[in-house]
Every structure is written in C-alpha cells, then in structure tokens.
Amino acid sequence: MANRYFQPEQETMPLEDIQKLQSEKLVKQVKHVYDNVKYYRDLMDAKGVKPEDIHGIEDLHKLPFIKKDDLREAYPYGLLATDLSDCVRIHSTSGTTGKRVVAFYTQHDVDMWEECCARAIVAAGGDENDVCQVAYGYGLFTGGAGLHGGSHKVGCLTLPMSSGNTDRQIQFMMDLNATILCCTPSYAAYIGETLKEKGLKPEDNKLKAGIFGAEPWTEEMRHDIEKSLGIKAYDIYGLTELSGPGVSFECQEQKGMHINEDHFIAEIINPETGEVLPVGEKGELVFTSLDKEAFPLLRYRTRDICVLSREKCSCGRTFIRMTKPLGRSDDMMIIRGVNVFPSQIETVLLNCGYTPNYQIIVDRVNNTDTFDINVEMKEEDFSDIPVGITNREKELQNAMKAMLGINPKIHLVAPKSIARSEGKAVRVIDKRKRLGINV
C-alpha cells in the first residue's frame, strides 16, 4: 500500500519543526488556561508558576499535573476555558461517585478531533471510495461520534450503526459492502464469530481494515480478528478528557500508535514520584492538549502505563509512537468497553443497604467480557427463599446498571462467605489476564 496521509504536512513534519510548533502552541495554551480557568490559575499559583515562566516545551515540567480527581472536583464547569455559548457539544465518561467527567467542545475542537480520527482512517488505507461502518457506541461515549466525524472528513460513505444488534450489523455490512469496520476489538471478534456461525467465510465480505480500540487487546486477538474477518486490524487510542479516539493511531507497520504531536505533547512519568522519564522507559502517560479551546488540559495524568519510541517508522510519519497501554496505575477496569471503578460498585452497595463485602469477577468468554459481582447479605436479611433473593438481585442489578451503564450479574451470597483478607482486600479477580490482556 502506498503511504498516504490525511494531513501530510503535519504528519511527516521534521522533529525540530514539531518541537518548535509545540513550543509556540504551549506558550499560548498556558496563557489561555491561566487567564480563563480559575482552577488552573490556583494550581499554578500554588506551584509558583506564571505563564511568563513558560517559554517552550523545555519548561513543561514546571507546570502542575492535573488528575481525574481534579476533573471531578471541577465538575461540571470548573475547567471550562471558553464561554458556554461557544461550545457545541459535550461528551462524558463514567466517574467513581456518580459524578462523571464532562468534556466540552467548541466547533474548532470537534474539527480538530475529527481530523485526528480521519488521520487514523487514512493510515488504515481509507479514502473516499470506502464504506466505513461505525459500530462504536454513539452518545456520551466518544467512540461513535469520533470515528463518524473522521469518516465524514475522509469522505467515506459512513454507516452510523452504533454498537449492538449484530444481525443488523452483519446484514448492512454485507448488503452495503462495508470496507472499514470501527468498533471495540471484543465486538470485532464477536462479529467475526457470528459470521462464522452464519456460514459466511472471510472472503464473503468486502472488509479490508478495522480500527479497533477503547479497551486493552492482545496481538493474539489481532491475529484472530484479522483471520476471522479477512482484514488488517489497526489499533486506535484516546480518552474522553483529551477529545476521544484519535489521540494516537496505528499505521500499516502495526507497531505502536503515532501520537498526534501537533495537537498533544506526551510525557512519561514515574507514577509514584511524578519524575519525568526519558523516551523508551516504561511509565505513566501524561498529555498536554495544545489546541483545545473549551476543555484544555495541561499535563493530564492518564493512568495508562506505556512506553514511547522515537524510532523512525517506514510509513514516513514522524510522530512519536506509544505502545499499547501495558496496564493502569489505578484500579480502573474496562469491561465491555466501559470504564468501571470498584469504588462505584461500593457506592451502590452502601446506598442499597449492603455491606462492602463483595468480589468482582471479570472474564472473557467467546470474546465477550463477563462481569459478576458476589455480594454478601447482612445476617438480618439472609434467607434461603430463592424468590426473595432473586428479586433483590434484580434490584441491585438495576442500581448497578444505573451507576455503571452496564449490567453485571449479581449473586447474593451468605453472610461471611467471602474470604476476608488480612492485608488489602482482594476485590477484583480479573481472569482476562490469563489471555494475556493487560488489564
């Protein structure tokens, strides 16, 4: 495949030019943030740093970090850097206490984000002749909207399917000759399996590429998906706080994801000490957004652990590459593409009158995540009348669904039946690790 780029000038810019551009944008962005966001002004004042102290990327380390907790504390408008009337969109991610992180976008922010996604689609071989089936969820989640916008920018015929309804998904894929599939890797694997069950072979569909992300997946999974769908499978990374998918994306080399460095500065830090680590070392990924108007973030700690590489890439892109996330430095789990924190589960249990004695068991069966929660009943509530228990399980399941956005299977168990630990309680048993998934 010939090397093609959506924005060649930016994507193949020499390193010195990227760094010069980043420095210029950083100076402006810090001033924008300091002048317009009291929360940042307070953080910077507390650290004794003023916009005049930032002359370029060499001064980045002087700025304070910002964390998910800050975003929750500032909910909903505390980090907004423009007038609300300048914003055209919000997206949101789940939060630990029911407070979600809400990210705002101006039209300029939406355009920049969609261009990042368009770069990913072109890197996967997409152009205006393609039919791009977007099977990420649409709504508050950024997956659907991001790839949808990117697909429009490339000029593909866009199939806005959203996730689920696999039979319809397959019917449109076959009838409308979809050539690019965008969804979570686990959903792609499930679609592959369903095709097989229907007696359809990989060569029966017109797909050539898939753009899969939003959750950890392995090289083995990539091979399986490529085989079952007859495609090349590309990874894409991003997070709501920074716009959504497209912060980084894979090229034909499929060896790490190029970070859109004209819009984001990436750093790797030691998650314990905050010390900045040299390129090539493993640590927590920290991003500074250089162009976002409404919801700019300086030195945002993603909690994703990975390694960066400046090694030259045969695709011609000069942007630094990141490995797949190799784990997290917090306790967030990604289950069926949804971010789940154990503390959310604990909040629901306490609100519903249960004790916080519970265990979360996550696994992946037939390419779909399973999600079970064992919850101890209180002595006074315990009975062995199955009907009563089933009703209470359903009630709790509904409360969990309202908090998390996905349905766990609840199992009420006898008091004191969950093993007590002498040290840190083992709340989560993630069996997906046996599949080599970096949870």
The smaller minimum CB distance to ligand DLL, of residues 216 and 256, is found at 216
Binding to ligand DLL in span 283-312, by CB under 6 A: 302, 304
Stretch touching ligand DLL by CB under 6 A, among 118-126, 170-178, 214-222, 417-425: 214-222
Residues 241, 168: Cα–Cα separation, whole Å: 32
Amino acid identity, residue 278?
Answer: P
Q: Give the ranges where 261-307 is alpha helix by DSSP (H).
A: none
Q: Is residue 249 a contact partner of residue 237, using CB atoms and an 8 Å limit?
A: yes
Closest CA to 263 of 4, 82, 5, 13: 13
Binding of residue 228 to ligand DLL (CB under 6 A): no
Question: Which range binds ligand DLL by CB under 6 A, 58-66, 74-82, 207-215, 340-348?
Answer: 207-215
Q: Please give the residues from 53 up to 112 whose contact with ligand DLL meets the rule CB under 6 A.
A: 93
Residue 317 gets the label, from left (phi > 0), alpha (psi -120 to 50) or beta, of beta
Residue numbers 363-382 binding ligand DLL by CB under 6 A? none
Cβ contact 145:173 at 8 Å: no
Report the residue number, 214 or 349, with the smaller CB distance to ligand DLL.
214
In the set 178, 181, 229, 236, which binds ligand DLL (CB under 6 A)? Answer: 236
235 touches ligand DLL (CB under 6 A):
yes
What is the DSSP secondary structure assignment for residue 351, as one 8-state letter?
H
Residue 231 CB, shortest distance to ligand DLL, in Å, is: 17
The region of 7-15, 65-73, 156-164, 237-245 touching ligand DLL under the rule CB under 6 A is 237-245
Q: Kindly state the smallest distance separating residue 6's Cβ from ligand DLL, in Å.
A: 17
Q: Which of 215, 224, 226, 267 binds ligand DLL (CB under 6 A)?
A: 215
Continuous segment of H or E residues that includes residue 167: helix 166-175
Structure tokens at 37: 């966001």
* Binding of residue 137 to ligand DLL (CB under 6 A): no
Segment near ligand DLL (CB under 6 A); pick from 152-160, 190-198, 238-246, 309-317: 238-246
Beta bridge partners of 131: 157
401: its two tokens: 């669904």
- Strand (E) positions, 36-116? 87-93, 101-106
Binding to ligand DLL, residues 320-339 (CB under 6 A): 324-325, 334, 339
Q: What part of residues 412-431 is at the interface with ligand DLL (CB under 6 A)?
A: none
CA angle 427, 432, 433 (to 5 degrees): 85
CA angle, 306 as apex, 405 and 344 as ends, to 5°?
Answer: 25
Within 150-179, the residues that bind ligand DLL by CB under 6 A are none
Phi, psi dihedrals of residue 421, rounded to the nearest 5°: -110, 150
Q: Least distance (Å) from ligand DLL to the CB of residue 434?
A: 18
Nearest alpha carbon to residue 156 among 225, 208, 91, 213 = 208
Q: Which of 213, 283, 405, 408 binds ligand DLL (CB under 6 A)?
A: 213
Tokens of 361: 């068991």
Point out the residue whose Cβ comes nearest to ligand DLL.
213
Measured distance CA(323)–CA(64) in Å, rounded: 25
Give the one residue of 238, 283, 405, 408 binding ligand DLL; rule: CB under 6 A.
238
Tell me how far apart the terminal alpha carbons of the chain are, to the nearest angstrom. 33
CB of 302 to ligand DLL, least distance (A): 5
* Minimum distance, C-beta of residue 216 to ligand DLL, in the bound complex (Å): 4
Site of interaction with ligand DLL (CB under 6 A): 93, 136, 142-143, 213-216, 235-240, 244-245, 302, 304, 324-325, 334, 339
